[in-house]
Chains A and B, each alone.
Chain A
Amino acid sequence: MKGLLPLVVLLFAALILVNARFSPETNPIEMRGYMIGEQAEDFTLKNYDGRLVSLSSYPNAKGFILVFTSNHCPYAEAYEDRLVGLYHQYAALGYPLIAINPNAPEANPDDNAQANAQKAKSKRFPFPYLSDSLQQVFPRFGATRTPHVFVLDSNRIVKYIGTIDDNAEAPHRVKKRYVEDAINSMLSGGDPFPTTTKTVGCKIRLIPRDSITGRIKQDD
């Protein structure tokens, strides 16, 4: 029996290693995000000006337009002016827009706090532009791309997930305005339709990690 002990220890060690390798933590993008009708948890993230912002910072909101966006994705850039438009259209009606940059600055310095501030100032964002650089918030929503929109109601129930409209490249050729339609139907007491849309965008850049040790890698 004594001879078996090292073998058992070895087996356990191997098991732990294998588990570490395949733990879901190493790939947050595979985490299931909120479904339509689920309640989103509140979060607190830092704005580009250093201020901390939560959903509860807006006690009178009828809902929220959360937009995961980034600084140098052509799709995100194509929508910047339209985000400002959405804010002006709906903030006063009780639906403030909150932009969040989910990209890891370690993966691309274009997404660090300084770059966020620069973007917000140069485009005169009237809304907060938060940094999710630790990547704790976007996986809960199941955001995968920038831009990726989540419309919530006053109870933080997810009502719409997807794209802003049906033409990223040419605003003047837009036919379907999904986010506007969603909020308009919510304003009139109904539910959005469609509730989800698909979109092409830039994949959210993850914090580069060594898959076994979880150490942050410098290259990539």
Chain B
Amino acid sequence: MHSISIQEVFFFIIMHLRFPSLITFIICLFAVSLIAQDQAPTPERYKVFDTYDDLQAHISKYASQTVVINFWATYCAPCVKEVPFFDQLQEKYRANNVKVIMVNLDFKSQLKQRLDKYLNDHPIPNLEIVVLADQDADSWVPRVTSDWDGSLPFTMVLNKGVLKDTHRQEFSDFDDLVKFVAPHVPPKPTLASKRRR
């Protein structure tokens, strides 16, 4: 946006005197576009799963690759601190066919005030976010893995559907996260391997 000069203001006033309806129309269009921009914070930014089964079905779509899953919530301070590391991680390993899934555990009834607001303030463009709204934690937490008690954050890495490693606290920095994931990252497909296919 550039600032409006005096000449432009004059031009505008003169135009308004000569073609009032046209200018009003343009102003209306402009206003509508502003409102539209304001009200549509990416409609399909995240999926909401009501049961752990639904989440599992979704994750199993990536069963042929390395998947990093992080359980987090916007109210969890250490979680929020490490979310950008995961965004960076997805970017770093995109070519290695690594999928990062952020499983958000905010209350479904509070998604607007919490998750939407968070995503507005902290764009994490590389990350897939899903919301798990299954409230019966005692039944689904043990199904994730037996060594997790449900406290956030929690991260795990799967390779071809097999659990490889878990991390039960926050990562101190991006390198800490890379160190955790790197052993399970497949090499980038080289030109030669592509040709073989």
Q: Are B150 and A199 in contact (CB under 8 A)?
A: yes
Instruction: Pick from A73, A162, A175, A178: contact of B75, CB below 8 A.
Output: A73
- Report the minimal beta-carbon distance from B156 to chain A, rounded to whole angstroms: 15
B89 in contact (CB, < 8 A): no
Interface residues on B, range: 20 to 34
Query: Using a CB-CB cutoff of 8 Å, which residues 166-203 of chain A contact chain B?
Result: 166-170, 173, 175-176, 178, 194, 197-203
Instruction: Pick from B107, B109, B141, B149: contact of A144, CB below 8 A.
Output: B149
Query: Using a CB-CB cutoff of 8 Å, which residues 132-179 of chain A contact chain B?
Result: 144-145, 162-163, 166-170, 173, 175-176, 178
Q: Are A74 and B106 in contact (CB under 8 A)?
A: yes
A-B contact count (CB 8 A): 70
Q: Are B141 and A200 in contact (CB under 8 A)?
A: yes
Interface residues on A, range: 20 to 34
Instruction: Pick from B75, B77, B138: contact of A166, CB below 8 A.
Output: B138
Query: Using a CB-CB cutoff of 8 Å, which residues 44-84 of chain B contact chain A?
Result: 73, 75-78
Residues of B within 8 A of A200 (CB): 73, 105, 137, 141, 150-152
- Report the minimal beta-carbon distance from B55 to chain A, rounded to whole angstroms: 14
Q: Which of A163, A200, A202 has the most CB of B within 10 A?
A: A200
Question: Chain A residue with minimal CB distance to B109?
Answer: A169
Instruction: Pick from B133, B136, B151: contact of A145, CB below 8 A.
Output: B151
Assuming the A-B contacts A74-B106, A74-B107, A203-B78, are A198 and B135 also in contact, with contact meaning beta carbons closer than 8 angstroms in the complex?
Answer: no
A170, B134: Cα distance in complex, Å: 11
A119 in contact (CB, < 8 A): no
Q: Are A163 and B151 in contact (CB under 8 A)?
A: no
Assuming the A-B contacts A108-B77, A202-B76, are A166 and B107 also in contact, with contact meaning beta carbons closer than 8 angstroms in the complex?
Answer: no
Instruction: Pick from B78, B108, B114, B139: contact of A169, CB below 8 A.
Output: B108
A201, B106: Cα distance in complex, Å: 10
B193 in contact (CB, < 8 A): no
Question: Chain A residue with minimal CB distance to B106?
Answer: A74
A162, B73: Cα distance in complex, Å: 20
Q: Are B150 and A201 in contact (CB under 8 A)?
A: yes
Residues of A within 8 A of B151 (CB): 144-145, 200-201, 203
- Report the minimal beta-carbon distance from A184 to chain B, rounded to whole angstroms: 18
Q: Are B77 and A199 in contact (CB under 8 A)?
A: no
- Report the minimal beta-carbon distance from B176 to chain A, rounded to whole angstroms: 14
Query: Using a CB-CB cutoff of 8 Å, which residues 116-152 of chain B contact chain A?
Result: 133, 135-139, 141-142, 149-152
B110 in contact (CB, < 8 A): yes
Q: Are B136 and A203 in contact (CB under 8 A)?
A: no
- Report the minimal beta-carbon distance from A185 to chain B, rounded to whole angstroms: 17
Residues of B within 8 A of A173 (CB): 135
- Report the minimal beta-carbon distance from A148 to chain B, rounded to whole angstroms: 9
A12, B80: Cα distance in complex, Å: 41
A175, B136: Cα distance in complex, Å: 9
Question: Chain A residue with minimal CB distance to B154?
Answer: A200
Q: Are B137 and A199 in contact (CB under 8 A)?
A: yes
Residues of B within 8 A of A (CB): 73, 75-78, 105-110, 114, 133, 135-139, 141-142, 149-152
Ranked nearest first, the 8 interchain pairs of A and B with the lowest CB-CB distance are A197-B138, A198-B141, A167-B135, A169-B107, A200-B137, A166-B136, A200-B150, A198-B150
Selected A-B contacts with CB under 8 Å, 20 pairs: A74-B75, A74-B110, A74-B114, A144-B151, A145-B151, A163-B138, A166-B136, A166-B137, A169-B107, A169-B108, A169-B133, A169-B135, A198-B141, A198-B150, A199-B138, A200-B105, A200-B141, A200-B151, A202-B75, A203-B151
